[in-house]
Amino acid sequence: MPVGEKLSIIIPSYNEQDNIARTFHTICEILNSNHIPFEIIFVDDGSKDLTYARIQELSSAHTEAKGISFSRNFGKEAAIFAGLEVAQGACCLIMDCDLQHPASLIPEMYRLWKEGFEVIEGVKSSRGKENPLHTFCARTFYRIISKVTAIDMSQASDFKLLDRKAVDALLIMPERAPFFRALSSWVGFKTATIPFEVQDREIGASKWSLWSLTKYAIRNITSFSSAPLQLISLLGWIMFLASIVLGVQSLYRYFTGTALEGFTTVILLQLVIGSVLMISLGFIGHYISRIYDEIKARPRYIISKRCGC
């Protein structure tokens, strides 16, 4: 089959033992009936179950099935980049292992690619079943990230088809903590969008907790923007203005002999200033830790096993 037409499907998989074969056969059926040449690369992100064994079984029975396995859990972003690195196709599609991204849309995305589009983005027309707190946090996060990246990310997902040019542009980025769904828009190229409904996860459970989502949000906002640092300066100026007003008032009261005892005020001021300082230090500390991570230049992931590639 001509590599020039080949579609590489990259599937990050973490503890998905019961989804691997099902996902593979679902995709195969759709692509074979549409005569699309393809390979499917499962990236086992350090799973603790039989995910990699299932991938190996598939790989020994089907030439289209390939797999790599990380030495430990490095996260979904790392898995996506590892998949992009080993993919041989002329275009690459990223999708989840739980089929929450509808495989039935792949032929349409592939057709758009053949028409000349270089980035085909799946955008969520609904978020599927989710608890309201999760939806609220996700909305807030995407509102912030859309503002700082100047790219509308409100409905963004990782379900994307990228032309080789876009893949190569992503792969030369040296960032240690890449944010795939924003970077793949940031690289530009001729883009088409395709709406999809997030399907329900039928097998297994979501890997995201509120804590891991919070970390993910903070990491990605700080990797795209230094606005929180500017916010600290703004806060400083606001407090400076407040201090002038309060200072003038206090001096006036002191010289007119109406100064209050002042203990409560002093304690409150100390607490407010202390908190603002500590939070600001936390912001700065976070950026320093990001620089520290980048400067060490450790690999994004370590591959321990591979099959079929």
Q: Which of 16, 45, 98, 121 binds Mg ion (CB under 5 A)?
A: 98
Q: What does 230 bind: ligand UDP, Mg ion, none (CB cut-off 5 to 8 Å by kind)? A: none
By a kind-dependent CB cut-off of 5 to 8 A, residue 183 interacts, out of ligand UDP, Mg ion, none, with none
Query: Which parts of this chain interact with ligand UDP (CB under 6 A)?
Result: 12-14, 16, 45, 73, 75-76, 79, 96-98, 100, 201, 206-208
Give the nearer residue to ligand UDP in terms of CB position, either 74 or 224: 74
**DSSP codes joined into one string, 217-257:** HHHHHHHH--HHHHHHHHHHHHHHHHHHHHHHHHHHHHHTT
Minimum Å gap between C-beta 55 and ligand UDP is 12
Nearest CA to 309 out of 29, 5, 31, 84 is that of 84
- Rounded least distance, CB 206 to Mg ion, Å: 5
Q: How far apart are CA 42 and CA 20, in angstroms?
A: 8
Residues 100-129 that bind Mg ion (CB under 5 A): 100
- Residue 165 or 201 with smaller CB distance to Mg ion: 201
Enumerate residues 198-227 that contact Mg ion by CB under 5 A.
Answer: 201
- CB of 134 or CB of 190, closer to ligand UDP: 134
Q: How many Å apart are CA 51 and CA 285, to the nearest integer?
A: 37
* Locus of tokens 């503002």: 147
Is residue 209 exposed (0-12), middle (13-18) or buried (19+ Cβ within 10 Å)? exposed
The β-bridge relationship of strands 91-94 and 38-44 is unpaired
Residue 44 touching Mg ion (CB under 5 A): no
Return the percent helix, strand and coil in the chain, to nearest 5. Answer: 50, 15, 30
- The DSSP symbol for 3 reads G
Interface mask (CB under 5 A) for Mg ion, residues 161-200, using x and -?
A: ----------------------------------------
Closer residue to Mg ion (CB): 207 or 290: 207
Where do contacts with Mg ion occur on this chain (CB under 5 A)?
Answer: 96, 98, 100, 201
